[in-house]
Structure 1
């Protein structure tokens, strides 16, 4: 009997893993986002789902979670990783590049939505503090699902995609202050709203100062030491130490542990180890966050919701309508035309994953009771399930809105631009490079000679200029004097050489990356001034060889090492040619 509790825990873990490895992937086949899949799995496998029928058929206990509270520590780790990776993604430079959308549209949408939702609840008799917290929680949208939908549909670089991303960035920034705000609203603190806001602002200012000082003078050197002496194993241990250590410190200071993880992400985001950390932690974050969403789903009592179905459905409809109107107005005012505002509004109208984080923090602080958390959680979860459908509806409505065509294709003047990347050629290779750079929020200016390609690129939201990169005056209009580097992707040998020479004449020392047909063409481009050349023939041969080795049964890691070694040798030969 001494192992009974342990057996229940292991059985529950098996159910969680079964949901993550089988049920959620099955939902993905149906184009359902992973977050929604975990929520549904939690509802179905929880004590209020199949667990409610265990007394009718005993074997159901092996398909349900008996003690959801046992998974709480793992769920909290998922939230910590989510906040940490969110902080890792944010940077002051990224926010400044999109400042009009982020702080204009994002600020207006978040503040106005929270105010209207909170005021409405207060008018319906909800306590002022509870109404404020619920308003802030439901004002946030789903970064995870919206970006997943945009990425899968290749719409992240469109005007609507950029608008949604800008608003989501501002909302993500608000998560940490909201959690501070919730912690100060705890009944034990005994402070009023004004004092709470002022203290939150003061704590935020101190946090920013600590981030800048520690990130620039301490953390980077410690991670470099770990990388030199121990490699990825030590880096992983150090990363976990930073995340959990920061969470413990803020928790001991009376703040949210999630806030500590967020600050740790911002700290590490200032170093060159950011991308490696993202890759290493992403699987853990996905699994642990899935457990968090499953525990949220398990807390949803379907029987209770059925009893208050009019409240839940009314709240769902009111939330979608109110947030859609506010988001449309904010996007229309700061981001662009009506079709862009319409498409982005339908993406931003539902609630998001951070609503559950805020609600859980508020419930733990004693601000919200079950009578409020149950319907609000149900409304938030149901609204998130509607995001894919809302995205398609927004696209359909946006296409029906007529936007007046410009009488001609103007050439935008980027001559004053600084720090951007100029890509010459917007064919298959140019588009691939642009998409990858855009994922990292690089500022990109594209030069293309084909009017049709320019028009298509602009319709997709790219900064494309009609012109030949071999002409110095066109390069100057594209901002050649302030560009950080150039990428020449055209496949015509003569045009590519002329472009490299023109760039090198204007900027003798700027990095110039060029695409070559073969080694001989690469030699010509290097003589013209290219800093680095990628021959198509070499890369095609290496990729084909890699696939052949995999077919022979070589492990992917072995193939990667072999191809990497061969690539170095081929480029060494090409440089000596």
Structure 2
């Protein structure tokens, strides 16, 4: 018995060490919220946390590369989720951007970046590999930044995704080219190269066929058992299986995961797959950034600081110049070109793969590989900081005014300010009764869209007195303020009541407090934008629960009366009086607890 206990105690002592896991989680939980609160973004928080706990910080971890290799699964899962949002038909519409815009940017950037190594005195082959690796942008960083900024599905974001997909595809011919440039590589037989290309194409065919004919039936069978964790396991199996198959064929794991996502994008299980994968994706992607932060080798930087200090700005500036030039050449506006230039200025995770392959075949020495890895990591660290500078100092995009007329000499009986969803609905009864409307809005695209449906909307900022006069506010019978910005609504109401006291102003309120503010500014009528729809929902709920029509009407009248009473109390005594009334009413109805 004593021997058994001793063995168990020894096993527990030498078992799995949870301390590294705790350190990783603690570093992320502390650093990321702090950096996010400071406006520095989550990516920089992860990178800083990795540097702090890595070999050159507190020293909790010594092998950062092992963590990066494991955490690359986060990038893989991220691309799978992106693939789920890209139906094949949508991807097909992007073919011109992928193979046009992508090829042009990658080709010109390679030509420009090769010269950095050449001018520093390195061999042509090594300079080519160094520059080419830096051209391969960090998919993880750009996708994370686009997601945080809500630009994944916008045209500018879609074009960046197209370039990233081309770069992922480019890793295959680049690895073949590295083998060709290696000492003795030109002696490799054509049969070897044809075989490598054939294996890659074969892997693509397998993934496409399996995704088209096998995956959806497999998930249907598993769904019949009703075991949620089996569906999660199957989702991970599909993603990792496609990634490993592609990697074994010499392609990118990320590309395999992306292709699997695209093939499942029209599956009835798409939303469940996304929900199952999302927690793993977020955690592993954060771990990837932590690993990148740990891998920043300060000894290499100190020993080769001159090369690093020259190469980082040289690579980044040349790459940004090419990106901006290509964007403008292909008719992107200035703001989109600037954003693309800043977001894609860094090297990426595929550079590590290319540099490692070049080191194995003798094109790069281990020291050059370490230098280039440090250069890429520094560029990744600098990217979030560059985004902050861009957001602070870049000129704001000016919307196109093509096809938009400014308000001038309007004379409608009703002046409607704001033609979003609220204004559009509010205009319908007025138009149905034949009342003339002068409509102004500040969104040129919304104005152009409204014209397609037969509405004449003029460009004008209703918070400016000269615009109100040009829009005919002084001779209108009614002003309806239906804008979507709270501060703008308040300014318009206050200005209109002061300048045109004989014209009633009806205003959209966003919250109860906003409604009180509008009343104080002199609005003749205000309505909270969700109030009536919520009241109708409550009425319908009572009716469907079996309450009599009389009871429903009495209850709704009582709710309206109490709401009006609270509004009156808040006007006089503020929020405390209203809270007291609410508490008393809840206690009367049994809802106070």
**8 Å contact kept, 1:147–1:156:** yes
For this pair of structures, how many residues does the alignment match? Answer: 443
Map of 1:40 onto structure 2: 48
Distance 1:211 1:71 in 2: 28
**8 Å contact kept, 1:83–1:258:** yes
Map of 2:379 onto structure 1: 383
| Cα deviations by residue, 1:171-192 (Å, 9 ceiling, x for unpaired) | 2343144057437846799567
Map of 2:441 onto structure 1: 452
- Residue pairs, 1:416-427, within 5 angstroms: 426-427=420-421
Map of 1:170 onto structure 2: 163
**8 Å contact kept, 2:200–2:251:** no
Distance 1:320 1:146, change over 3 A: same
Map of 1:227 onto structure 2: 223
- Residue pairs, 1:371-520, within 5 angstroms: 371-391=367-387, 393-394=389-390, 399=395, 406=402, 408=404, 426-427=420-421, 450=439, 452-455=441-444, 457=446, 464-467=448-451, 469=453
RMSD: 4.8
Unaligned runs of 5+ in 1: 52-63, 411-424, 431-448, 459-463, 472-490, 493-534, 546-564, 571-577
Q: Does 1:27 align with 2:23?
A: no
Distance 1:30 1:568, change over 3 A: farther
Distance 2:280 2:391 in 1: 34
Distance 1:408 1:272, change over 3 A: same
Map of 1:273 onto structure 2: 269
Unaligned runs of 5+ in 2: 1-8, 407-418, 425-437, 456-480, 483-528, 546-593
Q: Per the alignment, in what secondary structure is the counterpart of residue 449 of structure 2?
A: strand
**8 Å contact kept, 1:72–1:295:** yes
Q: Per the alignment, in what secondary structure is the counterpart of residue 18 of structure 2?
A: helix
**8 Å contact kept, 1:332–1:338:** yes
**8 Å contact kept, 2:133–2:354:** yes
Q: Does 1:77 align with 2:73?
A: yes
State the structure with more CA Rg. Answer: 2
Distance 1:173 1:297 in 2: 26
Map of 1:305 onto structure 2: 301
**8 Å contact kept, 2:133–2:351:** yes
| Cα deviations by residue, 1:68-109 (Å, 9 ceiling, x for unpaired) | 466466324334324433444444433344455444333211
Distance 1:162 1:181, change over 3 A: same
Map of 1:442 onto structure 2: none
Distance 1:312 1:429 in 2: 57
Q: Per the alignment, in what secondary structure is the counterpart of residue 467 of structure 1?
A: helix
**8 Å contact kept, 1:305–1:312:** yes
**8 Å contact kept, 2:168–2:252:** no
Q: 2:111 aligns with which of 96, 99, 115?
A: 115
Distance 1:371 1:242, change over 3 A: same
Distance 1:178 1:102 in 2: 15
Q: 1:213 aligns with which of 192, 201, 209?
A: 209
**8 Å contact kept, 2:114–2:127:** yes
**8 Å contact kept, 2:171–2:251:** no
Distance 1:253 1:211, change over 3 A: closer
Once the 2 structures are TM-superposed, how far is the Cα of residue 226 of structure 1 from its aligned partner? Answer: 1.7
**8 Å contact kept, 1:79–1:289:** yes
Distance 1:373 1:219, change over 3 A: same
Q: 1:288 aligns with which of 265, 284, 289?
A: 284
**8 Å contact kept, 2:400–2:444:** no
Distance 1:255 1:392, change over 3 A: closer
**8 Å contact kept, 2:207–2:242:** no
Distance 1:466 1:215, change over 3 A: same
**8 Å contact kept, 2:88–2:262:** no
- Residue pairs, 1:127-276, within 5 angstroms: 130-150=126-146, 152-153=148-149, 162-179=155-172, 181-182=174-175, 185=178, 190=185, 202=198, 205-253=201-249, 257-276=253-272
Distance 1:223 1:567 in 2: 40
Distance 1:251 1:147, change over 3 A: closer
| Cα deviations by residue, 1:20-53 (Å, 9 ceiling, x for unpaired) | 22223322222233333222222221122222xx
Distance 1:117 1:175 in 2: 18
| Cα deviations by residue, 1:266-293 (Å, 9 ceiling, x for unpaired) | 4333523333222221221222232233
Q: Per the alignment, in what secondary structure is the counterpart of residue 441 of structure 2?
A: helix
The normalised TM-score by structure 2 is 0.61
**8 Å contact kept, 1:114–1:136:** yes
Distance 1:89 1:568, change over 3 A: farther
**8 Å contact kept, 1:101–1:167:** no
Map of 1:417 onto structure 2: none
Map of 1:15 onto structure 2: 23
Q: Per the alignment, in what secondary structure is the counterpart of residue 386 of structure 1?
A: helix
Map of 2:340 onto structure 1: 344
Distance 1:219 1:277, change over 3 A: same
Q: Per the alignment, in what secondary structure is the counterpart of residue 327 of structure 1?
A: helix
Once the 2 structures are TM-superposed, how far is the Cα of residue 326 of structure 1 from its aligned partner? Answer: 0.7
Distance 1:259 1:336, change over 3 A: closer
Distance 1:162 1:192 in 2: 46
Distance 1:206 1:70, change over 3 A: closer
